[in-house]
Structure 1
Amino acid sequence: MIDIHSHLIFDTDDGPSTIKESIRMVLEAEKIGIKTIIATPHYKKNVFNIDNAEKNFKELLIRLADCDIELRLGYEVFVESLLLDCIDNKRIFTLNNSQYLLFELPFDVYPANTVDIILNLHLENIIPIIAHPERHIYFQRDFGKFLGLIEAGCMVQLDAGSIMGIHGRKSKAFCKKVLKLGLAQFIASDAHSAKDYTNLFLPSYHKVVKWVGTDYAESLYRRNQELIFR
């Protein structure tokens, strides 16, 4: 399996505070069969320090040099920072220095210019992936608004925790609906601690297999992710 959304870099955002906790996360991921993780610290202009994230990521790579798991770097970018920073510096913020960029919307208010931002990203040859749309109330209430993002060319990443119900029954039901319709491309851990891999990511795979079958599950957890590394 390949995880494209994980907050495992220590002392960076709301993930682990120490390098020991970061290492524990990676070791837990390795135990359940994950071969590659893209670390995705939050990026919001003037809030999160990108230099600190990169420095701590490099230190983590050194400490885990003998570990049988590959770590890469990307970012989870807040939507208001996309046009400000990510088009001019797109290769800094994309997943594994690829064309794919993971972004996050506000949980409370849907920005009116979101579709325009997605279209502008495509003009710059950047493929946007929306993180955990199932957790947004405005998508739960208005599925058509969510479909509008897909029609604009946005790919979809669901959280394993939502599939397991930790964000409530509405988020879980949204995930099931999206998967039954074949609208998602990725499922990721959005892990902030080691237990998120053991207790959520692996069980979510088995639940998704029950919902939509093994072939689609393999695409959601591995095959589609491989495109980011080509």
Structure 2
Amino acid sequence: MYDLHCHILPGIDDGPADWSGSLAIARALVAEGVTCVAATPHGPGSSQSRIYLPSRLRDLVVQLREYLQRAKLGLQVVLGTEMVVASDLTERLRQGDLLGYGTSRAVLLETPAHIVIEHLQRSIFDLQLAGHRVILAHPERTRVFQDNPNLLIPLIERGVVVQITAASLVGWHGQRLQDITTQMVYHNLAQIIASDAHAPTGARAPAMREAFQVATQLVGEHRARRMVEELPHLLLSDAQIPLAEPYFIQPQKQRWWRRR
């Protein structure tokens, strides 16, 4: 499995404080079946960011790979950033002051708990206009999408890839988030699952294996595997991604999570 959203680098945000914590997360990821992880520290402008310097991040990834090799952990690492919505993202990416995923054109855009939808749409449009492929991080935790998940449909139709958090899907963040995330998966309003792990245990630990199992129950193994293997691989490769048509969520009396 691929995990395209993880706070595994030490001492730079609200992830692990040291290399011991980073390696503990790495072991937890491997135990979950993850073979490739994207280190996505919080970017400039985030209240969780302590240090954001591309050269420092690259050094940390090199060190992490060395630690993983010595520990004989078969985990590949790609560097990225969880970017805060801002008006200058494209310019900072162009100048190299902000990092997308590895050498690809894919970028991870954070959706904070409270945001004006028009501001988010403008940031997405600017990034796409500059040739970037936008991955939208954990919209199930954003108020505007909690109130109306169907607002994701026009974004997906424009090529935005929606990433939900594994822990939300399995219920670690409460019943409400689980219900919303389940609807997103069932109605093709989410394309990939990632851990957003900050720790090896607890509510912010990886939950990728269990999330894959839940997704399999909802939409079948083929589609669930696309969410954790095929589509993440294509994103990192800048390959064409066929996105399934999203379905409008309508209130209904029957159990909407019954598999199609």
Q: TM-score, normalised by structure 1?
A: 0.90
Counterpart in 2 of 1:212? 219
The equivalent residue for 1:116 is 122
Distance in 1, Cα, partners of 2:196 & 2:124: 22
Report deviation, 1:169: 2.1
Deviation at 1:166, TM superposition (A): 2.3
- Root-mean-square deviation over aligned CA pairs: 2.3
User: Which of 130, 133, 151 is residue 127 of structure 1 equivalent to?
Assistant: 133
* Residues 81, 56 of structure 1: alpha-carbon distance in 2 compared, 3 angstrom cutoff: farther
**Are residues 1:59 and 2:63 paired?**
yes
In structure 1, the partner of 2:77 is 71
Trace 1:13-52 onto structure 2 (pairs within 5 A).
13-45=13-45, 48-50=51-53, 51-52=55-56
Aligned position for 2:209: 202
* Secondary structure in structure 2 of the residue aligned to 1:139: helix
Aligned length: 230
Contact 1:164 1:172 in 2 (8 A): yes
Q: Amino acid of the residue matched to residue 62 of structure 1? A: E
- Which secondary structure does the structure 2 equivalent of 1:88 belong to? helix
Give, as a single letter, the amino acid of the residue that structure 1 aligns with 2:27: L
C-alpha deviation, 1:188, in angstroms: 0.2
1:115–1:152 Cα contact (<8 Å) kept = no
CA contact (8 A) 2:90 2:130 kept: no
CA offsets per residue over residues 86-105 of structure 1, 9 Å max, x none? 44246952112211100102
The Cα of 1:145 is off from its aligned counterpart by 2.7
Q: The residue matched to 1:108 in structure 2 has which SS?
A: coil
Residue 3 (structure 1) aligns with: 3
Identify if the C-alpha distance between structure 1 residues 220 and 55 changes in structure 2 by more than 3 Å, giving closer, same or farther. same
Which ranges in structure 1 are unaligned for 5 or more consecutive residues? none
Letter in structure 2 aligned against 1:11: G
Does residue 98 (structure 1) correspond to residue 101 (structure 2)? The answer is no
Percent same amino acid at aligned positions? 27
Is the contact between residue 38 and residue 74 of structure 1 (CA under 8 Å) also seen in structure 2?
yes
Larger radius of gyration: 2
Q: Distance in 1 between matches of 2:19 and 2:227?
A: 29
Whichever residue aligns with residue 221 of structure 1, its letter is V
Letter aligned with residue 139 of structure 2: P
The structure with the greater share of residues assigned to helix is 1
Change (3 A) 1:111 1:86: farther
State whether residues 8 and 16 of structure 1, in contact with CA within 8 Å, keep that contact through their aligned partners in structure 2.
yes
- Quote the offset at 1:163 in angstroms: 0.4
Structure 1 residue 150, shift from structure 2 partner: 2.3
Deviation at 1:136, TM superposition (A): 0.9
Alignment correspondent of 2:182: 176
SS in 1 for 2:9: coil
CA distance in 2: counterparts of 1:166 and 1:10, whole angstroms? 24
Structure 2 unaligned blocks of 5 or more? 238-260
Q: Structure 2 counterpart of 1:225, which letter? A: P
Q: With the length of structure 2 as denominator, give the TM-score of the two structures.
A: 0.80
Aligned to 2:198: 192
Matched, 1:157 2:160: no
Distance of aligned partners of 1:88 and 1:111 in 2 relative to their CA distance in 1, 3 Å threshold: farther
**Secondary structure in structure 2 of the residue aligned to 1:129:** strand
Q: Which amino acid aligns with 2:214?
A: K
TM-superposed deviation, 1:82: 5.2
The change in CA–CA distance for 1:106 and 1:4 in structure 2 (over 3 A counts) is: same
CA contact (8 A) 1:3 1:221 kept: yes
Deviation at 1:16, TM superposition (A): 0.4
